[in-house]
């Protein structure tokens, strides 16, 4: 940060950069293959911030209207006739020079079913059909542009890397980083190629080098239109939470899910309240965290593929189902193997659960323990630590405490108090008003159990 401040103050005082080196580089950008279900969900989520379920609903409408091919597919394959129509459109709108070799994607993976074509317009000659609502127009244009672009030539770009001298800390910078240069880079498009197909939905990038011309040995004055130079102090942030379309990309890479289940799987997680969608980001709920912390470990084993909640277990199971469908495996044998492995995992989980108390048992124990004297509690547990007891022993202790506290009001759990607080907040009640409903003065006085306040 000290070096950054020195550079900032130096540039602020001088108001210009001394260019020591300028390097140019030309490169091409290739078009991508037509959409599969997962890439469509990712693209619409990234560009329009749409949820997978919303994208699939809109795509369903386009498919039923006959404007696009089937939207549940993992193939990038397209028909020869559709490619011919795309090339005809490209030639008539731009020129034959915009035609490319055609992109159909990489070598199909073993879990690719390839039952349907890629998602493409049924009539590539129609840039935008009539009768579509705004959402359908957006998605159709995205699908049409991606397919047309797949049959076009590369776009051409030039990048320019600039180095400038910062004399203010030459020796110190050289000793710490081995350089006295500051780097910057800019780029512009030379030839649009396939990007022409996206001209209706994408912003036009820079098409020429910056002005005035930047050359070696030249001094460039800093722009005064906004704060320049600008010192931005930032800290390393943890990875951002997943978006719904980001989860689709992860599922695809892990071999989990199929075109027909991506959106449904995410919807199921939300419906069961294992996570919530907070401004486009998936956040685990208390219930979801409890599942991961208190249930998942019981079903883990030394063999990753045998872990019930692992991606490899799910991927292998789905691969088995695919092989049953294609006749490579017998359904009865796969089912028998699954039942045996699941029974072994479940039996092991029951044994593991008995080895130590659950979070719920410990919470209940602590609430009951506050109702008896230290002497009485000592008679019940002796020198044992509740957290180190096994499930059976903590159960015996809880039963004894329940008998010792029979008829005594049990303190409310942290979860019950939190729930009461959230209800009061939603009703815009302060604590005293809410507690007055049951004749108390604070939430800490609340009791649990069937007859609790």
Residue 128 dihedral angles phi and psi, to the nearest 5°: -160, 105
Cβ atoms 322, 265 nearer than 8 A = no
Strand order in the sheet with 155-165: 181-191, 155-165, 16-29, 219-221
Given its phi and psi angles, is residue 257 left (phi above 0), alpha (psi -120 to 50 degrees) or beta? left
DSSP character string of 145-193: HHHHHTTBPPEEEEEEEEEEE-GGGHHHHHHHHS--EEEEEEEEEEE-G
Maximum separation of any 2 CA atoms in the chain, in Å: 93
Q: Which pLDDT does position 42 carry in this prediction? A: 96
Q: What's the rounded Cα separation, in Å, for the pair 120 and 189?
A: 27
Q: How far is CA 258 from CA 139, 169, 181, 418, in A?
A: 21, 56, 50, 39
In terms of Cα–Cα distance, which of 122, 121, 109 is closest to 75? 109
Neighbouring CB atoms inside 10 A of 437's CB total: 10
16: closest CA among 190, 222, 184?
A: 222
Residue 442, Ramachandran bin (φ over 0: left; ψ between -120 and 50: alpha; else beta): beta
Q: In whole angstroms, what is the distance from residue 34 CA to residue 280 CA?
A: 26
pLDDT score at 15: 83
Query: pLDDT of 347-383, one tens digit each?
Result: 988 888 888 888 888 988 998 998 999 999 999 998 8
Q: Answer whether the bond into residue 212 is a cis peptide, omega within 30°.
A: yes
pLDDT score, position 234? 82
What gap in Å lies between CA 124 and CA 68, rounded to an integer? Answer: 9
Q: What is the pLDDT of residue 64?
A: 97
25 by DSSP, 3-state: which?
A: strand
- The pLDDT of residue 170 is 55
140 assigned to active site: no
Provide the residue-wise pLDDT of the chain in tens; the chain has 453 residues: 777 788 888 888 888 888 889 999 999 999 999 999 999 999 999 999 999 999 999 999 999 999 999 999 999 999 999 999 999 999 999 999 999 998 875 555 555 556 789 999 999 999 999 999 999 999 999 999 999 999 999 999 999 999 887 766 555 555 565 555 678 899 999 999 999 999 999 999 999 998 888 888 888 888 877 778 888 888 888 899 999 999 999 999 998 999 999 999 999 999 999 999 998 899 999 899 989 988 898 888 777 767 888 888 888 888 899 899 889 999 999 999 999 988 988 998 888 888 888 888 898 899 899 899 999 999 999 889 999 999 889 999 999 998 998 888 888 988 889 889 999 999 999 999 999 999 999 998 999 877 788
DSSP string, 378-440: HHHHTT--GGGS-HHHHHHHHHHHHHHTTTSPPBPPHHHHHHHHHHHHHTT--HHHHHHTTT-
Q: Tokens 């699954």 label which residue?
A: 338
Residue 51, both tokens: 């949820």
The confidence score (pLDDT) of residue 397 equals 93
The predicted pLDDT at position 8 comes to 84
Q: Is 305 helix (H, G, I), strand (E, B) or coil?
A: helix
Contact in structure between 378 and 341 (CB atoms under 8 Å): no
Rounded to 10 degrees, what is the CA torsion of 441, 442, 447, 452?
Answer: 50
Residue 159 contacts by C-beta under 8 Å, 6 or more apart in sequence? Answer: 24, 25, 27, 185, 186, 187
Instruction: Return all residues near 130 (Cβ < 8 A) that are at least 6 apart.
Output: none
pLDDT at 9: 85
Computed over its alpha carbons, how large is the radius of gyration of the chain?
A: 32
Catalytic residue among 70, 274, 299, 365: 70
Q: Beta-strand (E) ranges in 166-308?
A: 181-191, 219-221, 275-278, 281-284
């Amino acid at each position: 940060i000290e070096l950054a401040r020195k550079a900032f103050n130096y540039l602020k005082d001088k108001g210009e950069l001394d260019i020591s080196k300028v390097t140019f580089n030309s490169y091409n950008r290739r078009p991508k293959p037509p959409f599969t279900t997962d890439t469509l969900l990712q693209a619409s989520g990234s560009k329009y911030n749409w949820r997978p379920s919303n994208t699939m609903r809109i795509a369903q409408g386009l498919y039923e209207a006959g404007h696009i091919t089937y939207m549940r597919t993992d193939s990038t394959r397209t028909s020869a006739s559709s490619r011919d129509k795309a090339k005809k459109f490209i030639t008539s709108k731009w020129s034959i020079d915009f035609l490319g070799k055609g992109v159909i994607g990489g070598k199909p993976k073993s879990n690719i079913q390839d039952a349907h074509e890629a998602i493409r317009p049924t009539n590539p000659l129609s840039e935008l059909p009539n009768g579509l609502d705004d959402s359908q127009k957006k998605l159709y244009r995205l699908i049409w542009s991606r397919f047309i672009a797949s049959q076009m030539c590369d776009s051409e770009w030039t990048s320019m890397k600039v180095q400038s001298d910062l004399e203010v800390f030459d020796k110190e910078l050289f000793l710490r980083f081995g350089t006295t240069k500051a780097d910057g880079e800019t780029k512009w498009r030379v030839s649009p190629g396939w990007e022409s197909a996206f001209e209706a939905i994408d912003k036009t990038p820079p098409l020429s080098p910056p002005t005035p011309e930047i050359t070696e040995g030249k001094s460039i004055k800093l722009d005064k239109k906004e704060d320049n130079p600008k010192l931005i102090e930032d800290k390393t942030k943890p990875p951002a939470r997943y978006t719904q379309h980001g989860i689709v990309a992860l599922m695809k890479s892990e071999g989990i899910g199929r075109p027909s289940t991506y959106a449904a799987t995410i919807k199921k997680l939300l419906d069961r309240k294992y996570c919530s969608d907070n401004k486009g980001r998936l956040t685990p709920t208390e219930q979801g965290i409890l599942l991961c912390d208190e249930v998942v470990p019981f079903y883990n084993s030394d063999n990753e593929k045998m872990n019930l909640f692992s991606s490899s277990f799910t991927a292998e199971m789905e691969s088995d189902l695919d092989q049953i469908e294609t006749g490579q495996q017998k359904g009865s044998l796969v089912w028998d193997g699954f039942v045996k492995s699941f029974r072994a995992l479940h039996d092991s989980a029951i044994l593991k659960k008995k080895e130590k108390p659950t979070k719920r048992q410990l919470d209940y124990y602590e609430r009951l323990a506050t109702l008896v004297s230290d002497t009485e509690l000592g008679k019940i547990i002796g020198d044992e630590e509740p957290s180190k007891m096994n499930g059976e022993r903590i159960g015996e202790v809880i039963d004894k405490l329940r008998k010792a506290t029979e008829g005594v009001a049990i303190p409310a759990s942290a979860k019950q108090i939190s729930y009461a607080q959230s209800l009061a907040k939603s009703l815009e009640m302060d604590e005293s008003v809410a507690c007055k409903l049951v004749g108390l003065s604070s939430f800490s006085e609340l009791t649990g159990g069937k007859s609790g306040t």
